[in-house]
Amino acid sequence: MRKKPLLVEAARMLRKEMTPQEKHLWFGFLRNYPVKIYRQKIMNNFIVDFYCAKARLVIELDGSQHYTEDGLAHDIERTNILNALGLMVVRFPNTEIDNNFPSVCNKIDNIIKSRLP
C-alpha cells in the first residue's frame, strides 16, 4: 500500500513539532532504547505517536483533546483498527508523562520485553 503524500507531510511536520511530552519521552527514553522505535509513524490511515515494530506496539500520548466525547470515540475506533492489524496500543495521558515519567518508562520497557519474539 502506497503512503498518502498528505500523511507523509503531516508525519514529517509532527516530528518537527512534537509536544513537550512527546519530546520528553523521545529524548529521555525512546530515542536510545535498545529496540528500534519510530516516532510519528504512518500506520494504515493514521499517524501514531511512537511505534516499535519488533514488539508490534503503538505508544500514544493523550492530551486534553483525547478526553472529549469525539476524541474518545475516535481513539476507540483507531485502537480497534490497529488491534485488528495485530498491534497493541498503549496510551498514556500527558499528565502521567509530566508527573510519573520513570513509571511510564518502566511500563513501556516491560511491555516491549514481554512482546518481543
Q: pLDDT, tens digit, for every residue of 67-115?
A: 567 767 878 888 999 999 999 999 999 999 999 999 999 999 999 999 9
Q: Provide the pLDDT for residue 67.
A: 52
DSSP 32-61: T-SS--EEEEEETTEEEEEEETTTTEEEEE
* Number of domains within the chain: 1
Report the CATH number that the domain containing residue 91 is assigned in CATH: 3.40.960.10
Domain that holds residue 80: 5-115
Would you call 16 exposed, middle or buried from its count of C-beta atoms within 10 A (0-12, 13-18, 19+)? Answer: exposed
Q: What is the pTM of this model?
A: 0.86
Of 1-5, 14-18, 33-37, which one has max mean pLDDT? 33-37
pLDDT digits (tens, 9 = 90+) for 30-56: 999 999 999 999 888 888 999 999 999
- Chain CA centroid to CA 115, Å: 16
**Residue 1 C-alpha from the chain's centroid:** 21
